[in-house]
A and B are shown apart, each in its own frame.
Chain A
Amino acid sequence: MNDGPLIVQSDKTLLLEIDHDQAAACRKAIAPFAELERSPEHVHTYRLTPLGLWNARAAGHDAEQVIDTLLSYSRYAVPHALLIDIAETMARYGRLRLEKHPTHGLVLSSSDRPVLEEVLRAKKVAGMFGARVDDDTVIVHPSERGNLKQALLKLGWPAEDFAGYVDGEAHPIALDPDGWSLRPYQQEAAESFWHGGSGVVVLPCGAGKTLVGAAAMAHAQATTLILVTNTVSARQWKDELLRRTSLTEDEIGEYSGAVKEIRPVTIATYQVLTMRRKGVYPHLELLDARDWGLIVYDEVHLLPAPIFRMTADLQARRRLGLTATLVREDGREGDVFSLIGPKRYDAPWKDIEAQGWIAPADCVEVRVTLPSSDRLAYATAEPEERYRLAACTHHKVDVVRSLVAKHPDQPTLVIGQYLEQLDELARALDAPVITGDTPVKERQRLFDAFRTGEIRMLVVSKVANFSIDLPSAEVAIQVSGSYGSRQEEAQRLGRLLRPGRDGKVARFYTIVARDTVDADFAAHRQRFLAEQGYAYRIVDADDLEVG
Chain B
Amino acid sequence: MAETGFRSLADQLRSWSDDRVSRLLLARPDLATPTPHDSGQLASRAATRSSVLRALDQLTRLELSVLDALVVAGQTSREELLGTVHADPVAAGAALDRLLDLALAWESAQGLRALTGVAESLAAGPGTSGLRPRSPEPPPAAEIKAALEAVSPEARTLLQHVADQGGEATTSGSRHTVSVDDARTPAEELLARRLLVPRGGSTVVLPGEVGLALRGGRTTLEPVDAMPEIATSSRSAALVDRAGAGAAFEAVRRVELVLDEWSLRPPTVLRSGGLGVRDLKAIAALLQDDEATAALWVETAFAARLLAAGMNPDGDLCWLPSDRFDTWSGLPTAERWAVLVTAWLESDRLPGLVGARDTAGKAWNALQPELTGVHQVEARRMTLAALADLPAGQTLAAGTGLPSLTAHVAWRRPRRPRTRADQVAWAVREAAALGVTGLDGLTSYARPLLDGDTDAATAALAALLPPPVDHVLLQADLTAVAPGPLESALARRLQSVAEVESRGGATVYRFTASSVRRAFDIGWSAAEVHAFLAAVSRTPVPQPLTYLVDDTARTHGSVRVGHAEAFLRSDDETALAELLHHPQAAALGLRCIAPTVLVSDTPIDVLLPRLREMGAAPVVEAPDGTVHVARPDALRARTPKAARAEGARQARDAARVSAVVTAIRAGDRAEASRPAAPTGSPLTPSGALAVLREAVETGESVVITYVGDDGVRTERVVDPRSVEGGRLLARDHRSDDVRAFAVHRIVGVRALGASVG
Is A526 in contact with B243, judged by CB distance below 8 angstroms?
no
Is B543 in contact with A9, judged by CB distance below 8 angstroms?
no
Contact of B506 among A15, A71, A77, A526 (CB under 8 A): A15
> Considering the chains assembled together, what is the distance between the CA atoms of A41 and B555 in angstroms?
29
Is A7 in contact with B504, judged by CB distance below 8 angstroms?
yes
User: Beyond A10-B250, A527-B477, is A75–B483 a contact (Cβ under 8 Å)?
Assistant: yes
> Considering the chains assembled together, what is the distance between the CA atoms of A43 and B537 in angstroms?
13
Q: Kindly report which residue of chain B lies nearest to residue A11, judged by CB atoms.
A: B502
Is A8 in contact with B505, judged by CB distance below 8 angstroms?
yes
Residues of A within 8 A of B246 (CB): 76-80
Choose the segment among A101-109, A153-161, A281-289, A534-542 that binds chain B (4+ C-beta atoms closer than 8 Å). Answer: A534-542
Is B544 in contact with A15, judged by CB distance below 8 angstroms?
no
Residues of A within 8 A of B247 (CB): 77, 79-80
CB of B49 within 8 Å of the partner chain: no
User: Beyond A40-B476, A536-B476, is A1–B544 a contact (Cβ under 8 Å)?
Assistant: no
Q: Kindly report which residue of chain B lies nearest to residue A74, judged by CB atoms.
A: B505
Q: Kindly report which residue of chain A lies nearest to residue B438, judged by CB atoms.
A: A80
Is A8 in contact with B476, judged by CB distance below 8 angstroms?
no
CB of A531 within 8 Å of the partner chain: yes
Within 8 A of B (CB), among A59-94: 71, 75-81, 83
Is B544 in contact with A537, judged by CB distance below 8 angstroms?
yes
Is B466 in contact with A43, judged by CB distance below 8 angstroms?
no
> Considering the chains assembled together, what is the distance between the CA atoms of A526 and B542 in angstroms?
13
Residues of B within 8 A of A465 (CB): none
> Considering the chains assembled together, what is the distance between the CA atoms of A9 and B502 in angstroms?
7
Q: Kindly report which residue of chain B lies nearest to residue A42, judged by CB atoms.
A: B473
Residues of B within 8 A of A515 (CB): 555
Within 8 A of B (CB), among A1-50: 1, 7-11, 13, 15, 17, 38, 40-43, 45
CB of A530 within 8 Å of the partner chain: yes
Is B288 in contact with A531, judged by CB distance below 8 angstroms?
no
Is B483 in contact with A535, judged by CB distance below 8 angstroms?
no
Residues of B within 8 A of A526 (CB): 544
Residues of B within 8 A of A10 (CB): 250, 288, 503-504
Within 8 A of A (CB), among B524-569: 539, 542-544, 547, 551, 555
CB of B65 within 8 Å of the partner chain: no
Residues of A within 8 A of B438 (CB): 77, 80
Is B477 in contact with A40, judged by CB distance below 8 angstroms?
yes
* Distance in Å: Cβ of B288 to nearest Cβ of chain A: 6
Interface size class of A (residues with CB under 8 A): 20 to 34
Residues of A within 8 A of B543 (CB): 536-538
Residues of A within 8 A of B551 (CB): 514
> Considering the chains assembled together, what is the distance between the CA atoms of A38 and B479 in angstroms?
11
Q: Kindly report which residue of chain A lies nearest to residue B253, judged by CB atoms.
A: A10
Q: Kindly report which residue of chain A lies nearest to residue B249, judged by CB atoms.
A: A77
Residues of B within 8 A of A38 (CB): 477, 479
CB of B386 within 8 Å of the partner chain: no
CB of B245 within 8 Å of the partner chain: yes
Residues of A within 8 A of B544 (CB): 526, 530, 536-538
Residues of A within 8 A of B293 (CB): 81
Is B242 in contact with A40, judged by CB distance below 8 angstroms?
no
Is A11 in contact with B242, judged by CB distance below 8 angstroms?
no
Is A76 in contact with B477, judged by CB distance below 8 angstroms?
no
Within 8 A of A (CB), among B416-470: 432-433, 438-439, 464, 466
User: Beyond A71-B239, A538-B547, is A9–B479 a contact (Cβ under 8 Å)?
Assistant: no
> Considering the chains assembled together, what is the distance between the CA atoms of A1 and B245 in angstroms?
9
User: Beyond A537-B544, A538-B544, is A80–B502 a contact (Cβ under 8 Å)?
Assistant: no
Is A77 in contact with B242, judged by CB distance below 8 angstroms?
yes
CB of B608 within 8 Å of the partner chain: no
Q: Number of B residues whose C-beta is below 8 Å from A?
A: 41
> Considering the chains assembled together, what is the distance between the CA atoms of A537 and B289 in angstroms?
39
> Considering the chains assembled together, what is the distance between the CA atoms of A76 and B483 in angstroms?
10
Contact of B483 among A15, A80, A531 (CB under 8 A): A15
Q: Kindly report which residue of chain A lies nearest to residue B475, judged by CB atoms.
A: A40
Residues of B within 8 A of A15 (CB): 481, 483, 502, 506, 508
Residues of A within 8 A of B433 (CB): 80-81
> Considering the chains assembled together, what is the distance between the CA atoms of A40 and B478 in angstroms?
9
> Considering the chains assembled together, what is the distance between the CA atoms of A514 and B249 in angstroms?
44
* Distance in Å: Cβ of A199 to nearest Cβ of chain B: 30
Is A80 in contact with B243, judged by CB distance below 8 angstroms?
yes
Residues of A within 8 A of B464 (CB): 1, 77
> Considering the chains assembled together, what is the distance between the CA atoms of A8 and B247 in angstroms?
12
Q: B-facing mask of A130-157, CB < 8 A → 1, else 0?
A: 0000000000000000000000000000
> Considering the chains assembled together, what is the distance between the CA atoms of A76 and B288 in angstroms?
20
Is B475 in contact with A41, judged by CB distance below 8 angstroms?
yes
Within 8 A of A (CB), among B233-247: 239, 242-247
* Distance in Å: Cβ of A149 to nearest Cβ of chain B: 29
> Considering the chains assembled together, what is the distance between the CA atoms of A81 and B438 in angstroms?
11
> Considering the chains assembled together, what is the distance between the CA atoms of A9 and B543 in angstroms?
28
CB of B267 within 8 Å of the partner chain: no
Is B475 in contact with A7, judged by CB distance below 8 angstroms?
no
Is A76 in contact with B505, judged by CB distance below 8 angstroms?
yes
> Considering the chains assembled together, what is the distance between the CA atoms of A535 and B544 in angstroms?
10
Is A9 in contact with B478, judged by CB distance below 8 angstroms?
no
Q: Kindly report which residue of chain A lies nearest to residue B505, judged by CB atoms.
A: A76
Is B432 in contact with A7, judged by CB distance below 8 angstroms?
no
Is A8 in contact with B504, judged by CB distance below 8 angstroms?
yes
User: Beyond A77-B242, A79-B247, A537-B543, is A530–B505 a contact (Cβ under 8 Å)?
Assistant: no
> Considering the chains assembled together, what is the distance between the CA atoms of A168 and B502 in angstroms?
49
User: Beyond A1-B466, A10-B250, A42-B539, is A75–B505 a contact (Cβ under 8 Å)?
Assistant: yes
Q: Kindly report which residue of chain B lies nearest to residue A20, judged by CB atoms.
A: B483
Is A530 in contact with B478, judged by CB distance below 8 angstroms?
yes
* Distance in Å: Cβ of A114 to nearest Cβ of chain B: 15
Is B243 in contact with A76, judged by CB distance below 8 angstroms?
no
Residues of B within 8 A of A83 (CB): 243
Is B504 in contact with A530, judged by CB distance below 8 angstroms?
no
Contact of B503 among A9, A41, A76, A538 (CB under 8 A): A9
Is A1 in contact with B504, judged by CB distance below 8 angstroms?
no
Residues of B within 8 A of A42 (CB): 473-475, 481, 539
> Considering the chains assembled together, what is the distance between the CA atoms of A8 and B479 in angstroms?
17
Q: Kindly report which residue of chain A lies nearest to residue B463, judged by CB atoms.
A: A1
CB of B484 within 8 Å of the partner chain: yes
User: Beyond A11-B288, A43-B475, A527-B478, is A76–B484 a contact (Cβ under 8 Å)?
Assistant: yes
Q: Kindly report which residue of chain B lies nearest to residue A528, judged by CB atoms.
A: B477
Within 8 A of A (CB), among B471-504: 473-479, 481, 483-484, 502-504
Q: Kindly report which residue of chain B lies nearest to residue A515, judged by CB atoms.
A: B555
> Considering the chains assembled together, what is the distance between the CA atoms of A526 and B137 in angstroms?
98
> Considering the chains assembled together, what is the distance between the CA atoms of A530 and B476 in angstroms?
6
Residues of A within 8 A of B483 (CB): 7, 15, 17, 43, 75
> Considering the chains assembled together, what is the distance between the CA atoms of A81 and B249 in angstroms?
13
Most chain B beta-carbon contacts within 10 A, residue among A43, A83, A536, A537: A43
Residues of A within 8 A of B542 (CB): 41, 536
> Considering the chains assembled together, what is the distance between the CA atoms of A535 and B439 in angstroms?
43
> Considering the chains assembled together, what is the distance between the CA atoms of A218 and B504 in angstroms?
48
Q: Kindly report which residue of chain A lies nearest to residue B254, judged by CB atoms.
A: A10
Most chain A beta-carbon contacts within 10 A, residue among B505, B544, B551: B505
Is B505 in contact with A13, judged by CB distance below 8 angstroms?
no
> Considering the chains assembled together, what is the distance between the CA atoms of A371 and B502 in angstroms?
40
Is B476 in contact with A41, judged by CB distance below 8 angstroms?
yes
Contact of A9 among B476, B506, B555 (CB under 8 A): B506
Q: Kindly report which residue of chain A lies nearest to residue B548, judged by CB atoms.
A: A538
Residues of A within 8 A of B249 (CB): 76-77
Q: Kindly report which residue of chain B lies nearest to residue A12, judged by CB atoms.
A: B288
User: Beyond A11-B288, A79-B246, A80-B438, is A43–B502 a contact (Cβ under 8 Å)?
Assistant: no
- 6 A-B pairs with the lowest CB-CB distances in the bound complex, closest first: A77-B246, A9-B504, A76-B505, A530-B477, A40-B475, A7-B506
Would you give 14 A-B contacts (Cβ < 8 Å), ordered by A?
A: A9-B502, A9-B508, A10-B250, A10-B288, A15-B508, A40-B477, A40-B479, A42-B474, A76-B246, A76-B249, A77-B245, A527-B477, A530-B478, A531-B477
Apart from A8-B504, A76-B246, A530-B475, what are 8 other A-B pairs with CB-CB below 8 Å? Answer: A13-B502, A40-B476, A40-B477, A45-B508, A76-B249, A77-B249, A79-B504, A80-B243
